[in-house]
Amino acid sequence: PALLFVFFRCEVGTSHWTQCNENPVKFARFPVTGLIEGRSYIFRVRAVNKAGVSLPSRVSEPVAALDPADRARLRSHPSAPWTGQIIVTEEEPAEGVVPGPPTDLQVIEATKNYVVLSWKPPGQRGHEGIMYFVEKCIAGTEDWQRVNTEIPVKSPRFAVFDLSEGKSYCFRVRCCNSAGIGEPSEATEATVVDDKLDIPKAPGRIMPTRNTDTSVVVTWTEPPDAKELVGYYIEASVEGSGRWEPCNNNPVKGTRFICHGLSNGEKYIFRVRAVNAAGLSEFSQESEPIEVKAAIGGGLLPGVCPELSGKAAGLTERTASWEGMHESSQPIFDTDALLKCNAKFNRETLPSSCGKLESTGDSNAREMVKDPAPQKATAKQASKNSASSLRVIPIGTAPPSPPYDIVVLESVRDSMVLGWKQPEAIGGTEITGYYVNYREVVDGVPGKWKEANIKAVTERAYRIQDLKENMVYQFQVAAANLAGVGTPSKPSKSFKCEEWTIAVPGPPHDVKCTEVRKDSLVLLWKEPVYSGRSPIVGYYVDMKEATAKEEHWRSVNEKPLQKKFLKIDGLTQGVSYVFRVRATNQAGVGKPSDVTDAVTAETRPGTKEVVVDVDDNGVISLNFECDQMSPDSKFIWSKNYEPIEDDTRLNIDTKGGKSKLSFKDLGEDDLGIYSCIVTDTDGVSSSYTIDEEEMKRLLALSHERQFPTVPLISELAVEILEKGEVRFWLQAEKLSGNAKANFVFNDKEIFNGEKYKMKVDRNTGLVEMIMDKLEEKDEGTYTFQLQDGKATNQSSLVLIGDVFKKLRDEADFQRKEWHRKQGPHFVDKLGWEVTDECNVMLKCKVANIKKETHIVWYKDDREIMVDEEHDFKDGVCTLLISEFSKKDAGTYEVILKDDRGKDTSELKLKDTAFAELMNEVCRKIALSATDLKIQSTAEGIRLYSYVNYYVEDLRVGWVHNDTQIKFTDRMRTGVTGEQIWLQINEPTPQDKGRYTMELFDGNTTHKKTVDLSGQDTKENYSSLFPDRARVLGGLPDVVTIQEGKALNLSCTVWGDPTPEVSWLKNEKSFVSDANCILKFESGKNVSFSISTVSTQDSGKYSIVVKNKYGTETSDVTVSVYIPEEE
């Protein structure tokens, strides 16, 4: 028979239940009106049919009657200084503005019992808050009637009741404030008062598919025109039995579900029904029968794809025998939950009266619990075995006492953030908010108090905006609770509004010790109420011996902790300790928490630890025992020291002094520290850590207990053999003589033949398959399935996409490489090296060479050398390039060929590759540089060094006394042949000092240094001696002469000892011949004669004179011209 529902409400702090709807409603939802703003309520529901009225449901969580925007703001708990919402100004209030009409009025829900409207506030609304009047009229008339005649509503949502079923209505809304009532909004379209939501139709196309030996995957399609679906229920039946069993307890959101706990070999049929607020659909058509049997490849093991698991949405696991108890297949309404209406709630009064219906509540009152989260977890876990005690708020409440110690937490030019301490007396019920007033203080005289906030703020920190810079203010704060607003605090000290930095976080609180042992304990705490301007980034824990002085506090951790717990090791047995915690943010470390009570490091007799266990069915559990329990003691399990709110992944079973926490499907979501405390004892507690490694160990052990496996030394792997063949292999630890292997490719078994060569070595446990050639059709999944008695195992390798392409390319490459190596081939490809002489050598290593093999070198496709007579004892082929430079850039290639085949190797020396080679050449040249020498010349002093050869890419720089030299006519640098020099003309005393030649090879700077200070060697200052070799004169700078004439030049040289004389032409050595006669006579007279001048004699001639004190050079330029014909 059809179900109807009756809803009840109760104000928190009272015990009186009030029925919300006079007549039972069909839908499983109902808008409740008549609530008082700001008060909290709890709710419960009873179902009604022809047989009678059900027991009341579980009590809901408390809900405050607040505007949704206000509730969202209060729940967000913003940190200072952004908690301020109200802007305080000094101007007189503007004249009131009548608000405009609301917008976007629409009917969002309509049934035969009520209609729900929603709208948006108007754009024109003035500076004060607005409220709303709702009006209705029968469609087709203009007889508008106000629905809420006495009190306007604040929220832009409203439920209209007392409408005539079957009639059509229109609705409109007006805004109002102190200035008056505004124009109405546009009316809605005519709305018929009737149920708009229908029971969904049955789902279609039920398709079961095989999964494992005990599970089947069921899929279906969504029913047509489905509206507001809650989910689906799936049922299964052994074919022919006529008995249907539910597969899930909670609605499934998607259209796919894995049904576990089926019997292997049995045939099952399945059916599905949908559910929404209007009720359950008809059952779908029954599926085709399917035998429960693992799919090829083994199906999906539990936990491999958690998103497909039947437990992913919090569903209970089914029993394998189908004999266990299950909830009804129809229950959106959980009768067990109705009987346990007190299981999750223990903070507020649970009323004993149910209005017009019978009462089943408990009227005993207890004290209010200050920390709701652990108590909620306590009730939730304890309700699995026994009824929880009910706790209520004391009835005699009063407004709280004044807050105190008002301080400024931050001050900027136009705003200040206040902080204060909670009242000492909160009035018997929790504080709901605070109100802040402020006033200016001018010359010590306070002004009038002004409100800073109209709506209460929940944090003990508040930013007051739009203050005046450098003005002095006083503040006062009043606290409020359900009993009303308390007395304001005394005026604060006077504070000046000026720019300064924010304070650090406040102290953590609720610091306590647990799991105390002889050398360790676990410290827990809660984050500070006030976190400072920036978020808290961590915590520091301090400790000292209980009897030690304050200066003996020491920090336990060097880096801030992100978590709110810490296991402290290294304690001394029998010593008492105290602890405290400090929070830190970007501004710094805050004030420490209150000090804990002294705790003695000791492991008490009878202390037991949490023990992990895996039973024969593979169920993983944590177990804790306690023999010190009182009648009221309870086991409370936590994860990472936080109450376990969501227990859909766990089962907790407590019997007597033993408690077991079992994992339904251990996975990554379950990683963490699991702790258990026993209430009403002297600190009995323990914990167990499940990290990733422990999880893997437990899952492996669980699977091994359920399904014994053939242990593997190595999983299925693939490798490419020398000839390009593909080898698949795995190795088991051991195989008996009865062991066998099946080879599967893409869910089809393959057999030994021309393409596949298979082998099982039972002595070594090696199982392998060799494939002659990898082709495009071979892309897919390869599986080796092993069976050795009862034990089984399998290993798969997926070769698809880029993985397969890479493997195939490698196989093709190896095949080509094998064929290549049958003839002459390269072992090492063509490369380069720079010799110590700064030449470039191209070389490669070859193999399988015979005398008939031709080796040909190419540059830029042009043959440059053929090596016919080779004798490669070491297998190395080389090409030497002397004085390598830019002209040698290009692409070099070597070809090996004979009657067995040919092989090529290419080396590109362009762009980046050429630059890298030149850098190495420059490095070798720089390393070949000789030490700097000093030479005297006619103009002054020359510093020089020789290199093997010079290239333009080698950058040369000179430094004098650590300062880069700027070159001028007096001080210049250059290169002559292999000589790099620095010429200093007309040296002065300022030119003395340390000279460094820097050669930069592109990566590194190489330096050569000489000292001209006159302190090291005589040679360093010999340039100052008058006996150095020099050219005294006689040579012109330029000579222009007609072709065919005779040229005679002479000059005088001097030096002691007599200098050596040599000549250069165009910077190259030049000696006497038949045409040009060079003479040096009497140790001082030098002559230069050319009997018949030709154009080939044009050029730059240099005479170089040298003795032990120095060298000097004099240049003459000869220009030969051809006479014009007459």
Domain(s) of CATH 2.60.40.10: residues in the chain = 4-74, 103-193, 207-292, 404-496, 607-706, 712-814, 822-909, 916-1011
* Residue 630: band (very low, low, confident or very high) from pLDDT cuts 50, 70, 90: confident
Residue 985, pLDDT above cutoff 90: no
Residue 28, pLDDT above cutoff 70: yes
The proportion of the chain whose per-residue pLDDT surpasses 90, expressed as a percent, equals: 35
The secondary structure of 598-624 as a DSSP string is PEE----TT----EEEE-TT--EEEEE
* Residue 574: band (very low, low, confident or very high) from pLDDT cuts 50, 70, 90: very high
Contacts of 947 (CB under 8 A, 6+ apart): 838, 925, 926, 928, 929, 930, 954, 978, 980
CATH class of segment(s) 607-706: mainly beta
pLDDT, tens digit, for every residue of 747-792?
Answer: 899 999 888 999 999 999 999 999 988 888 999 999 999 998 878 8
712-814 CATH fold = Immunoglobulin-like (2.60.40)
Highest mean pLDDT among 544-553, 845-854, 858-867: 544-553
Q: What are the CA-CA distances from residue 451 to residues 89, 396, 436, 454, 827 (Å)?
A: 10, 30, 6, 7, 89
b/e sequence 917-938, b meaning 16+ C-beta within 10 Å: bbbbbbbbbbebbeebbbbbbb
Give the residue-averaged pLDDT of 235-241: 94
Higher pLDDT, 335 or 1126: 1126
Q: Is the peptide bond before 81 cis (omega within 30 degrees of 0)?
A: yes
Contacts of 69 (CB under 8 A, 6+ apart): none
Give the residue-averaged pLDDT of 596-601: 91
Run of H or E including 633: none
916-1011 CATH fold = Immunoglobulin-like (2.60.40)
Cα angle at 315 between 310 and 318, to 5 degrees?
Answer: 75
Residue 345, pLDDT above cutoff 50: no
* Residue 29: band (very low, low, confident or very high) from pLDDT cuts 50, 70, 90: confident
pLDDT, tens digit, for every residue of 489-527?
Answer: 999 999 998 875 556 787 787 788 999 999 999 999 888
The superfamily in CATH containing domain 4-74 is Immunoglobulins (2.60.40.10)
Rounded to whole angstroms, how far apart are CA atoms 875 and 1090?
Answer: 57
CATH 2.60.40.10 fits 404-496, yes or no: yes
Residue 1009, pLDDT above cutoff 80: yes
Indicate the average pLDDT of the chain.
82
The mean-pLDDT minimum among 224-228, 242-246, 432-436, 1004-1008 falls in: 224-228
pLDDT number for residue 951 = 86
- CATH of range 103-193; options 2.60.40.10, 3.40.630.10, 2.40.50.140, 2.60.120.380: 2.60.40.10
Residue 415, pLDDT above cutoff 60: yes
Rg (CA), the chain: 48
* Residue 170: band (very low, low, confident or very high) from pLDDT cuts 50, 70, 90: very high
Q: What are the CA-CA distances from residue 483 to residues 190, 433, 553 (Å)?
A: 45, 12, 44
CATH number of 822-909: 2.60.40.10
CB 1036, CB 1065: distance < 8 Å: no
Give backbone dihedrals phi and psi of 380, rounded to 5 degrees, phi first.
Answer: -65, -45
Rounded to whole angstroms, how far apart are CA atoms 28 and 105?
Answer: 25
Rounded to whole angstroms, how far apart are CA atoms 374 and 718?
Answer: 54
Give the residue-averaged pLDDT of 243-255: 89
The mean-pLDDT minimum among 422-431, 579-588, 894-903, 1090-1099 falls in: 422-431
pLDDT number for residue 601 = 94
- pTM assigned to the model: 0.31
Give the residue-averaged pLDDT of 387-412: 64
The proportion of the chain whose per-residue pLDDT surpasses 70, expressed as a percent, equals: 85
CB 291, CB 267: distance < 8 Å: yes
pLDDT number for residue 126 = 67
Return the structure tokens found at 712. 């593997």
User: What is the dihedral sign for C-alpha 486, 487, 492, 497?
Assistant: positive
pLDDT number for residue 127 = 66
User: What is the dihedral sign for C-alpha 282, 288, 291, 296?
Assistant: negative
Pick from 707, 713, 717: which is nearest to 731 by CA?
A: 713
207-292 CATH fold = Immunoglobulin-like (2.60.40)
How many CB atoms are located within 10 Å of the residue 60 CB? 16
Give the residue-averaged pLDDT of 303-309: 38
Give the residue-averaged pLDDT of 403-416: 78
Give the residue-averaged pLDDT of 640-644: 90
Four-CA torsion 132, 138, 140, 145, nearest 10 degrees? -40
In eight-state DSSP terms, residue 172 is: E
pLDDT number for residue 64 = 84
Give the residue-averaged pLDDT of 184-194: 89
Rounded to whole angstroms, how far apart are CA atoms 859 and 868?
Answer: 18
Return the structure tokens found at 269. 């049929």
Give the residue-averaged pLDDT of 1103-1116: 86
Return the structure tokens found at 587. 């501004």
Give the residue-averaged pLDDT of 827-832: 88
Residue 688, pLDDT above cutoff 90: yes
The mean-pLDDT minimum among 207-216, 811-820, 888-897, 944-953 falls in: 811-820
The secondary structure of 199-267 as a DSSP string is PPPPPEEEEEEEEETTEEEEEEEPPTT--SEEEEEEEEEETTT---EES-SS-BSSSEEEE-SPPTT-E
Return the structure tokens found at 668. 């990554």
Contacts of 73 (CB under 8 A, 6+ apart): 85
Q: Which amino acid is at 383?
A: S
Residue 955, pLDDT above cutoff 80: yes
Return the structure tokens found at 875. 């297998």
